[in-house]
Every structure is written in structure tokens, then in C-alpha cells.
Amino acid sequence: MPGKEGARARILEGETAIVTGAGRGLGRAISLVLARAGATVAVASRSADEIERTRREIEGAGGKALAIATDVTSKTAVEALVERTRETTGRLDIVVNNAGVFVWKALANLEEGEWDRILDTNLKASYLLVHAALPSLIACGRGRIINVSSIHGTVGEANVVAHCAAKFGLVGFTKALAAELRGAGVTVNALCPGSTDNKSLELSGRPRTAPLQEKLDAHDVAEAALFLVSPAAAAISGAVLDVWGGTSVSITG
């Protein structure tokens, strides 16, 4: 029945989400899917041009969005992101910590500055945003936090030591914070995507013939994110959801 389908599709109607790293790849796909489900989405990234494109896509599809250029490693910038989102929409229900950087380099060749940039963007940024958003998430009565980790948040691999350190740390952050916020009614979960094709611009996802053998596209991960912030996942907190698709089993050794 069309009426039921429409109601189900708008399961986040009236809610507001912040998604970081929203100008491309997973962040863009998650923003589009949350907006399609009815949320107003504050799309954040360093690149004003990229998030403006995401905002236009959302609004072109009938959704609501605002684009806020943000350095997620800056406490001042992150606090301004939360404040502007609250001022514009009147609330904040969902935070998706997706911003990240990736460097493929042996530890012996990794400069201190590169290590700091990876840890600051992939781990510290999540602390900064959650810390700033927490009063609003508690006040809304059903706050939702998703931390986008990685297959490298549970499996170590050579040449990505800093990435693994940050993503393993994000999983620990998720589990500890979930325990801390259980009494406040705020759920905290982590997504661990495998190797993902972030170049696809398809919102609906490409046809799948063998999803567990094929490389992920961003939509696969976005749909998992939508589930974790939906009413259907209200009893799930502290979970680490692997979305690996056809990611090579050689990584898992």
C-alpha cells in the first residue's frame, strides 16, 4: 500500500542529523539516505564546494539540508557547527561521525604530522562533536550516535598502523560511551565498512547479484546507518556492525 510505504520511508520525519565528511563517499550517501527518510541534515566538511553539492542534491530530491563548512579537528569550529544546526532547525537528534583520512604508508616512513592528522581526524574529531552535541542529544529524548569506523577497526593490516590505531580506538570509544549514555537514552553504535566504492553517485544502489562477493558501494553502508538511527534499532547500543560485502578475506587473515 502506497500510504504505508510512504510512512515507512519517512521514519526520521522532524528529526535533525549532523553528518561529517558529507561532501563525498560514505558521508554523502548517508546524508542522502537520512534526508530521504525525512531528517533535516546538516552536511559538514572542510570543502564548502562539496557539501554545497550534497545540499543541492538533497533539496533537489525534496529533502531538507544545510551545508556548514567545518574543520572537524577544531573545537571552536565543531561547537559552531552544533550551534548553527540547533539555531536553524531547533533540535539535534542524530550525529554521524564519518569524517576521516587514510594514509597507506609503513610506520617507518610515517611522519609525526601524518600520525597526528590521522588520529585527530579519525578519532579526536568524534570526541569533539559528541562532546558539543551531547546536551542536545540527551534533550531530544532519543539521541543517536554513529561512529564510522572501518574493517581496520577490528582487523590489523600492514601499512595502515595509524589508521588501525584510530579506528580501533573509535570502536573502544563507541563501546565505552554506549555504557556511559545508556541511562540517558542515547544509543551509540559503530559501523565498520569494508572496501567501498565511494565514486558511485547512485542513491538507490546498483543491482546486486552476489552482494557478499561484490565490492561495497556507499549506499550499502548508508542503509546500515539508517537502520541504526531508526526506531527499529532503539534497543541496540554499543554494537559494532560489520558491513564488509565482498571485501577480500585476505585482510582478515
Residues 85, 40: Cα–Cα separation, whole Å? 10
Residues 21, 102: Cα–Cα separation, whole Å? 13
Look up residue 231 and give its three cell numbers. 526506531
Instruction: Give the pLDDT of residue 251.
Output: 54
pLDDT per residue over 91-108, tens digit each? 999 999 999 998 999 999
Name the band, by pLDDT with cuts 50, 70 and 90, for residue 246.
Answer: low
Does any domain span residue 200? yes
Residue 229, burial from CB neighbour count under 10 angstroms (0-12, 13-18, 19+): buried
Q: 142-156, 174-188, 190-204: which range is least confident on average? A: 190-204
Q: What percent of the chain has pLDDT over 70?
A: 86
Residues 169, 68: Cα–Cα separation, whole Å? 27
Instruction: Give the pLDDT of residue 194.
Output: 79
Q: Is the pLDDT of residue 236 over 90?
A: yes
Residues 6+ positions from 251 with CB-CB distance below 8 Å: 151, 155, 157, 194
Does any domain span residue 253? no
Does any domain span residue 248? no
Does any domain span residue 223? yes
Check if the beta carbon of residue 179 is closer than 8 Å to that of residue 136: no
Q: Is the pLDDT of residue 135 over 50?
A: yes
pTM summary value:
0.90
**Cα-Cα-Cα-Cα dihedral of 80, 93, 45, 114, to 10°?**
90
Name the band, by pLDDT with cuts 50, 70 and 90, for residue 149.
Answer: very high
Range of the domain at 176: 2-243
Check if the beta carbon of residue 24 is closer than 8 Å to that of residue 51: no
Name the band, by pLDDT with cuts 50, 70 and 90, for residue 210.
Answer: low
Q: CA 202, 203, 208, 210 torsion: positive or negative?
A: positive
Name the band, by pLDDT with cuts 50, 70 and 90, for residue 240.
Answer: very high
| Domain of residue 24, CATH code | 3.40.50.720
Name the band, by pLDDT with cuts 50, 70 and 90, for residue 56.
Answer: very high
Q: 16-25, 94-103, 227-236, 242-251: which range is least confident on average? A: 242-251
Residues 22, 43: Cα–Cα separation, whole Å? 5
Average pLDDT over residues 72-95: 98
Does any domain span residue 56? yes
Structural domain count of the chain:
1
Comparing 3 with 129, the larger pLDDT belongs to 129
Does any domain span residue 167? yes
Does any domain span residue 249? no
Instruction: Give the pLDDT of residue 199.
Output: 60
Does any domain span residue 251? no
Which of 34, 41, 43, 29 minimizes the C-alpha distance to 11?
Answer: 34
Q: Is the pLDDT of residue 40 over 80?
A: yes
